[in-house]
Structure formats: C-alpha cells, structure tokens
Amino acid sequence: MDIDAWFDTTNIKEEDFNHIQEIMESAKELDKKAPFDKLVDNSYGK
C-alpha cells in the first residue's frame, strides 16, 4: 500500500505537511494537528 508519505526534498509545502498529519491521525498516532508555520523552516533547504 502506497500512502505517499515520503518527501523528495527538504522543502516541505503546507499541503504535504497536512497530508502527513492526516495519515498520522488516521493511524491514531496524532491527537491534534500542529501548525505548519511553527514547525517547518524551509530556509535550511535553500
């Protein structure tokens, strides 16, 4: 089963970040979603 959860780059788009959180929620591994702007810093990948 392919859940498309692997990133091809270190620059993460908000929609991809939310997709991963949805996968984690459906697996009962995440109680509530985290804010993208507080956790993702794409400046390192540039």
User: Per the domain annotation, does 25 fall within a domain?
Assistant: yes
pLDDT at 7: 72
pTM: 0.75
Distance, in Å, from the CA atom of 25 to the CA atom of 10, rounded to the nearest integer, reads 22
Q: Would you place residue 1 in the very low, low, confident or very high pLDDT band (cuts 50, 70, 90)?
A: low
Instruction: Please answer whether residues 28 and 46 qualify as being in contact, where contact means their C-beta atoms are separated by less than 8 angstroms.
Output: no
User: Per the domain annotation, does 27 fall within a domain?
Assistant: yes
CA 28 to chain centre: 15
Tens-place pLDDT, residues 2-46: 677 777 788 999 998 999 999 999 999 999 999 999 999 999 877
pLDDT at 31: 94
User: Per the domain annotation, does 5 fall within a domain?
Assistant: no
CA 16 to chain centre: 5
Torsion of CA 34, 12, 37, 28, to 10 degrees: 0
Q: How many domains does the chain contain in total?
A: 1
